[in-house]
Amino acid sequence: MSVGNPSQLVSAPVGTVVAVQANYYWVRLDTFIPSEAQGVDHLLCTRRSRLKKIGQQVMVGDRVMVEEPDWVDRRGAISEVEPRQTQMDRPPVANANQILLVFALAEPTLDPFQLSRFLVKAESTGLLVTLCLNKSDLITAQLRQKWCDRLHQWGYNPIILSLHEGSNLTVLQQQLANTITIVSGPSGVGKSSLINRLIPAIDLRVNSVSGKLGRGRHTTRHVELFRLPEGGLLADSPGFNQPDLDCTPTELAQYFPEVRQQLLEKSCQFSNCLHRTEPNCVIRGTWERYDHYLTFLEETIAHQEILNRSSEAEESTKLMNNKGEDQLQIEPKLATKKYRQPSRRTQKQTLRDLCHDIEESLTEGD
């Protein structure tokens, strides 16, 4: 969508969707706004019926054009959506550039397997992955260095952060500038506190870590974009403890940076190698997270089998709306021709062939 001259912008301002509530969309307007709209930087918008008819969804992060804005009531209607550069369904965010994965070095204790799972899920989005380890003030310098060396072998250079001491916050701000970043990670690691520090103008609800379970309570309820003072937007995604792995088994290895690096230098004998029991595999068992990979591989294989069974079930059944009944019913499809009623022409031909066979049999008997 091209931005024209100021007169065009007055009638159709452009902005970014920063929140979605039911069928309403909060749009943050770009820098230029008409003189009568001074002080208005957000509009509460609906979606034009034309967009509904063509099935155009509007997501957080979408760049949109707003028609006929009402600057007094701060209302408008979204009339056009720019093509998306990227799209995520969970969380539903458009045009994101990177994922900021936040973990804590202590309280709760950093679990390598859980961290690996989050990293694989983040890598599967295709976005840039930035790893941030919070609460560094709760462990020793030797342990911090040990984690840095370990994660470097995994293919990551984490930002070691302490909100309590304020260390390395500037480094993180530079990484987030002028991008749309999705903040993710398990509960209780300080995501909401981090966003409060990065954007002092907002005040997210912060929950304490559950002392009994050693993990955080869920605090974020929906996806919303917050503007950073240095430029850029943050999307705080709802917390979850175990992200699902819905990639295919053959895709999984590509989501481990250490495997990607090895495959650049050498290749396996088979193009579809799962790096498990295949002969001449150059990846199998040569790196720390190999056990994690095998566990995730079994999960992706089971997930793929479920999808295959669901596809087969859909192919073998059909929805029927019987007369006199209000609800659709699932009935099996006729898998082979033997269940179909033969045509009259086929029946007559079969009868003629049968009579011919009987006549030949009687003739041979004589």
Compute the average pLDDT of residues 26-41.
Answer: 72
Return the pLDDT at 205: 45
Compute the average pLDDT of residues 309-328.
Answer: 59
Distances (CA, A) of 175 to 37, 93, 294: 33, 19, 33
Compute the average pLDDT of residues 256-260.
Answer: 94
Collapsing DSSP to helix, strand or coil, 155 comes out as: coil
Return the pLDDT at 280: 86
Return the pLDDT at 32: 57
6-83 folds as: OB fold (Dihydrolipoamide Acetyltransferase, E2P) (2.40.50)
Helix (H) or strand (E) holding 52: helix 49-53
Residue 306, both tokens: 């479920």
Return the pLDDT at 365: 54
Encoded amino acid at 154, one letter: W
Return the pLDDT at 103: 95
Residue 21: pLDDT band by 50, 70, 90 thresholds?
confident
Measured distance CA(33)–CA(294) in Å, rounded: 55
Q: Tens digit of pLDDT for each residue in 329-338?
A: 556 665 544 4
Task: Tell me the percentage of the chain whose pLDDT exceeds 90.
Answer: 37
**Taking all residues of the chain, what is their mean pLDDT, rounded to a whole number?**
80
Compute the average pLDDT of residues 236-258.
Answer: 80
Q: Tens digit of pLDDT for each residue in 51-83?
A: 988 989 899 999 999 988 888 888 889 999 999
Contacts of 351 (CB under 8 A, 6+ apart): none
Collapsing DSSP to helix, strand or coil, 359 comes out as: helix
Q: Tens digit of pLDDT for each residue in 142-182?
A: 999 999 999 999 999 999 998 888 888 999 999 999 999 99
13 close to 71: Cβ distance less than 8 angstroms: no
Quick one: how many helices (H) and strands (E) in the chain?
A: 10, 17
Task: Tell me the percentage of the chain whose pLDDT exceeds 70.
Answer: 72
For the chain, which residues make up each domain, given as ranges?
A: 6-83, 89-236, 249-302
Return the pLDDT at 192: 83
Return the pLDDT at 217: 43
Q: Give the number of other CB atoms < 10 A from CB of residue 48.
A: 14
Place domain 89-236 in its CATH homologous superfamily.
P-loop containing nucleotide triphosphate hydrolases (3.40.50.300)
Compute the average pLDDT of residues 16-25.
Answer: 88
Compute the average pLDDT of residues 290-311.
Answer: 89
CATH number of 249-302: 1.10.40
Return the pLDDT at 318: 58
Q: Tens digit of pLDDT for each residue in 94-140?
A: 999 999 999 999 988 999 999 999 999 999 999 999 999 999 999 99
Return the pLDDT at 223: 78
Measured distance CA(80)–CA(12) in Å, rounded: 10
Q: Tens digit of pLDDT for each residue in 200-225?
A: 877 654 444 444 434 444 444 567 88
Residue 3, pLDDT above cutoff 50: no
pTM: 0.74
Residue 363, pLDDT above cutoff 50: yes
Residue 329, both tokens: 């019913």
Measured distance CA(365)–CA(26) in Å, rounded: 92
Residue 190: pLDDT band by 50, 70, 90 thresholds?
confident
Phi, psi of 101 (to 5 degrees): -95, 115
Ramachandran quadrant class, 343 (left: phi over 0; alpha: psi -120 to 50; beta: rest): beta
